[in-house]
Copies of this chain bind each other. A is one copy, B any other.
Amino acid sequence: MPALAHHAPAAELADRLTRAEAACAQRGARLTDIRRTVLELILQAGEPIGAYALLDRLKDKSGQGKPPTVYRALDFLLAQGLIHRVERLNAFVGCHEEADHPHPVQFLICGECGNVAEFEDQAIGTAVATIASRSGFVVKRSIVEVEGVCAECATLAAG
């Protein structure tokens, strides 16, 4: 498997961090050093990263940290909608959207290269809402994670 991490250019990383800071400031949430560092590590990874991998990198950077350190930061970032949790992988990715608010999320997960693409399809959201309302179910959160092989990896395998 290629396993290439789509490292964003440094400029984009800085931009996303700046926007995250602005979003937090706007709603009175405190993006502390630890939280900011964890977000930065997730964005740098460019692919889903687990809590303990984050912890390792956090310790490399700042010499400190225990599991609760990183889980607390993750909880904050999730609540702010700055990252998402990929249930299938027990891992986390930066939110790819411009919007600075929580939103329903759907993923395409490539089993070959490990790449995860975030998308938001209105038809899926509508279909979920329909099936739920039909049975009186009140939706709090919907998880849509599609496993398979991305176009790039499929081409490599076929060629």
Q: Could you tell me if B139 and A146 are in contact, using CB atoms closer than 8 angstroms?
A: yes
Contact of A145 with B by CB under 8 A: yes
- Smallest distance from the beta carbon of A102 to chain B beta carbons, Å? 13
The reply to whether B124 and A136 form a contact with Cβ atoms under 8 Å apart is no
Return the contact of A144 from the options B108, B121, B137, B142 (Cβ within 8 A): B142
Contact with B along A119-135 (1 / 0, CB 8 A): 10101101110111001
A87 within 8 A of B: yes
A117 CA / B110 CA spacing, docked (Å): 27
Question: Can you tell how many copies of this chain the complex includes?
Answer: 2
B136 pairs with A130, CB closer than 8 A: no
Q: Supply 20 A–B pairs (Cβ within 8 Å), ascending by A.
A: A87-B88, A87-B145, A88-B143, A108-B131, A117-B137, A119-B131, A121-B130, A123-B127, A124-B124, A137-B149, A137-B150, A138-B148, A138-B154, A139-B147, A139-B148, A141-B147, A142-B144, A142-B147, A143-B143, A143-B145
Candidate in A135, A143, A146, A154 with the most chain B CB atoms within 10 angstroms = A146
Say whether B144 contacts A132, CB under 8 Å. Answer: no
Known: A110-B137, A124-B127. 10 other contacts (CB 8 A): A108-B137, A119-B131, A121-B127, A121-B131, A123-B123, A123-B130, A123-B131, A128-B144, A132-B148, A137-B149
